[in-house]
């Protein structure tokens, strides 16, 4: 299907016209009949406690399955992506004032895992086109206190792993990957999660690989695996046969409750059996949308270099508000009125968020402000021009197309072309009413 849609000139739904029609998606999350039968079997057997591999064959099976997917790395199944990321930091012994260079353009859990270790996030700008961390900004931010780089593969777009690995190795830093939106993404033949010293993935119900609520850590190092288990698993999984003897004196129940349930362990195993097909469908639909959007004036997809293979957890697009003559929020509102979900995923650069500003803070007490104050960090007013531009101008949409939904992709393109064809009327609307306040989901 390669015919570019002609612009629709009918009146915008936002202005009282008839909408193109709702964009609908594949049933997602999807669980196979086999997965449902296995979950039912687990529940009927009363297997509700996830203490580790020694106690649950379902957890052992899940961790072995995920390990095969990640080239034989150590895998720790846990309760969420945040749990996996905090486990990665703890396993690498990053805490207590250590600095972690990271992105300001992400979901908060990518940063709160650092804060919960009493470590210090150091924010550097992102690439303008994609929103992933810009490797060229990192070296200037390194200090004697820097211990790690935490890169987020946002929207399923892989960060530049070769460059990040080279910088980390040059400066003897750890590299941590947040692959929560990027299961199966690749760059230059490298699979996300297989390059860092540790990586965390979310598998909650809305992710590329969904369960109900779960996550996992991957690492090439057994010591990182066991130290991560010690902070978030029952008794650090010390009853397991290969637990290191040198860590036994430090085992107790002073842990976060980050363990996975047997139910979600079963779902992890089953979903890894189908994820490659789902990823292929997401990529196929993204290619079709890119083709149909080729004639658009104001909205475009990021340009990816050869070897970059995103997985399109969300579809991110770049809006040219200056050329369009309207704000991103107004344009997104027009898309939404026609039936296409359109929103800005990141509401503001994270260093702007009030709960990171210990100076004059008057909100509910949070545990990390003392560490930030002690470190003397001041996040207020950081420049971050690319991050700020994306916050104001990117448009995200849901992209859960895991079976043939080419008709819905064509509908999305029709919506975009209709709104662009009526850009003059939309400019008049914004002049009369002012910009729409937010681009909501």
Q: Residue 338 corresponds to which tokens in the numbers above?
A: 């026609």
Confirm whether 96 is domain-assigned.
yes
Q: Return d(Cα 181, Cα 7) in angstroms, integer.
A: 33
Confirm whether 441 is domain-assigned.
no
Are 318 and 223 contained in the same domain? no
The residue among 85, 173, 118, 112 whose CA lies nearest residue 375 is 118
Residue 396 falls in which region: left (phi positive, over 0), alpha (psi -120 to 50) or beta: beta
pLDDT of 437 over the 90 cut? no
SS3 state of residue 189: coil
Please tell me the pTM assigned to this model.
Answer: 0.96
Q: Considering its fold, how many domains does the chain have in total? A: 2
Confirm whether 373 is domain-assigned.
no
> What is the predicted pLDDT for the residue at 8?
52
Domain that holds residue 317: 13-30+275-347+384-433
Are 290 and 258 contained in the same domain? no
Are 86 and 99 contained in the same domain? yes
Are 188 and 303 contained in the same domain? no
Are 316 and 394 contained in the same domain? yes
pLDDT of 9 over the 90 cut? no
Domain of 75, CATH number, reads: 3.40.640.10
Among 274, 306, 330, the domain boundary falls at: 274
Please give the radius of gyration of the chain, using alpha carbons only, rounded to the nearest integer.
23
Are 23 and 73 contained in the same domain? no
Q: What is the pLDDT of residues 184-232, one digit of tens each?
A: 999 999 999 999 999 999 999 999 999 999 999 999 999 999 999 999 9
Are 21 and 92 contained in the same domain? no
Tokens 């997401």 sit on residue: 282
| Mean pLDDT, the chain, integer | 96
Average pLDDT of the segment spanning 389-406? 98
Q: What is the pLDDT of residues 285-314, one digit of tens each?
A: 999 999 999 999 999 999 999 999 999 999
Among 217, 249, 274, the domain boundary falls at: 274
Average pLDDT of the segment spanning 320-345? 98
pLDDT of 441 over the 80 cut? no
Among 274, 291, 326, the domain boundary falls at: 274
The answer to whether 31 and 267 have CB atoms below 8 angstroms apart is yes
């Amino acid at each position: 299907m390669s015919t570019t849609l002609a612009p629709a000139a009918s009146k915008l739904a936002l202005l009282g016209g008839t909408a193109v029609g709702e964009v609908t998606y594949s049933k997602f999350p999807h669980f196979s009949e086999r997965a449902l039968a296995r979950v039912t079997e687990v529940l009927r057997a009363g297997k509700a406690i996830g203490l580790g591999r020694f106690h649950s064959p379902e957890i052992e099976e899940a961790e072995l399955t995920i390990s095969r997917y990640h080239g034989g790395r150590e895998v720790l199944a846990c309760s969420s992506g945040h749990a996996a990321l905090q486990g990665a930091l703890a396993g690498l012994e990053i805490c207590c004032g250590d600095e972690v260079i990271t992105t300001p353009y992400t979901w908060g859990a990518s940063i709160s895992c650092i804060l919960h270790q009493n470590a210090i996030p150091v924010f550097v700008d992102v690439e303008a086109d994609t929103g992933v961390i810009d490797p060229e900004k990192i070296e200037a931010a390194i200090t004697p206190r820097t211990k790690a780089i935490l890169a987020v593969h946002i929207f399923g777009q892989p960060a530049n792993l070769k460059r990040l690995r080279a910088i980390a190795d040059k400066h003897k830093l750890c590299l941590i990957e947040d692959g929560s939106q990027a299961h199966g993404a690749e760059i230059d033949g490298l699979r996300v999660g297989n390059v860092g010293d540790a990586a965390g993935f979310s598998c909650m119900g809305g992710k590329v690989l969904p369960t109900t609520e779960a996550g996992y850590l991957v690492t090439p190092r057994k010591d990182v695996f066991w130290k991560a288990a010690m902070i978030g698993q029952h008794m650090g999984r010390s009853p397991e046969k290969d637990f290191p003897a040198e860590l036994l004196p430090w085992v107790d129940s002073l842990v976060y409750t980050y363990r996975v349930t047997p139910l979600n362990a079963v779902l992890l195993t089953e979903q890894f059996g189908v994820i490659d097909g789902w990823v292929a469908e997401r990529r196929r639909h993204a290619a079709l949308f890119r083709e149909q959007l080729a004639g658009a004036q104001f909205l475009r997809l990021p340009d990816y270099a050869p070897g970059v293979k995103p997985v399109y957890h969300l579809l991110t697009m770049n809006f040219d508000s200056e050329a369009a003559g309207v704000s991103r929020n107004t344009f997104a509102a027009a898309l939404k009125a026609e039936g296409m979900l359109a929103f800005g995923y990141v509401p503001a650069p994270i260093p702007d968020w009030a709960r990171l500003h210990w100076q004059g803070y008057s909100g509910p007490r949070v545990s990390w402000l003392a560490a930030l104050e002690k470190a003397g960090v001041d996040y207020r007013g950081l420049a971050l021009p690319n991050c700020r531009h994306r916050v104001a101008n990117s448009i995200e949409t849901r992209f859960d197309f895991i079976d043939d939904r080419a008709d819905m992709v064509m509908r999305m393109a029709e919506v975009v072309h209709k709104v662009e064809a009526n850009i003059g009327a939309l400019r008049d609307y914004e002049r009369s009413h002012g910009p729409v306040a937010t681009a909501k989901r």
